[in-house]
Amino acid sequence: MNNSLTKNDISKFSKYLTESEKSTVTIEKYTASLRRLSKWLGGRKLTKENLLEYRNHLLESLTAQTVNGALSAINSYLAFSGMQDMRMKLFRVQKKLFRSSEKELTKAEYERLISTAKDTEKERLALLMETICSTGIRVGEVKYITVEAASEEKKRKFPLKAKRGLSSSQASSAASFLNMQRDAV
């Protein structure tokens, strides 16, 4: 290839991605990234210097994770076109292990939720929220809190299939929820 980025080059790359059985979403994302690069280049040559400048340009308005997506597309194109030496390093992105504290409920908000559920005679909902909040289980794990699981594990710490066991107060909250479930049936 001739160190430029034309519509024809992007079309050939798109055909290569299709033949490589890449998903439609990947092909669209990669070709869109290359069209944006081509537009930014405005006819200039595809050089390492220009690519690094483009990377910095993207960082001015996008997150490192989003820039990495564009860089992956560009790097893939560079490999396809025999310009591996011009590929760029991706930014290191540290994954967030926990949600930000702004997304956590305060104690007052939690108590207001429980109180509202009880005031509107939604006792099951209140017990479910208390169970989830006091045990730390995920919503998807609620299905493992069953009368059978509680009966089988009653003598122990009530471990269920959650990642950790429950304390006696947590088990009590879960047991109340289970009793409501059983009574509703």
Same domain, 178 and 105: yes
CATH number at 13 reads 1.10.150.130
Q: CA-to-CA distance for 146 and 175, rounded, in angstroms?
A: 9
3-state SS, residue 44: coil
* 143 DSSP assignment: G
Phi/psi of residue 110, each to 5°?
-60, -50
Is the same domain home to 126 and 73? no
Q: Are residues 111 and 154 in the same domain?
A: yes
Total structural domains within the chain: 2
Q: Which of 20-24, 38-42, 118-122, 134-138 has the lowest mean pLDDT?
A: 134-138
86, 119, 144: which is the final residue of a domain? 86
The last residue of a domain, from among 86, 119, 137: 86
Got the DSSP string for 116-157? HHHHTT-HHHHHHHHHHHHH---GGGGGG--HHHHHHTTTTT
Q: Does the residue 94 lie in any domain?
A: no
- Report which of residues 123 and 150 the model is more confident about: 123
Packed helices 7-19 and 24-41: angle between N→C axes, nearest 10 degrees? 160
Same domain, 114 and 169: yes
Write down how long the chain is. Answer: 185
Cα 76 to Cα 30: distance, rounded to the nearest angstrom: 9
Q: What is the pLDDT of residues 39-66, one digit of tens each?
A: 999 999 999 999 999 999 999 999 999 9
Task: Record the pTM.
Answer: 0.53
Residue-wise pLDDT tens digits, 2-21: 578 999 999 999 999 999 99
The confidence score (pLDDT) of residue 173 equals 62
CA-wise closest residue to 153 among 141, 163, 165: 165
- Percent of the chain having pLDDT more than 90? 49
pLDDT in tens, 78-119: 999 999 999 999 998 877 666 666 777 788 888 898 999 999
Residue 2 domain-assigned? no
Q: Give the structural domain span for 162.
A: 101-184
**CA geometry: angle 78, 82, 85, nearest 5 deg:** 65
8 Å CB contact between 29 and 69: yes
Return d(Cα 12, Cα 9) in angstroms, integer. 5
Number of other residues whose CB lies within 10 A of the CB of residue 5: 25
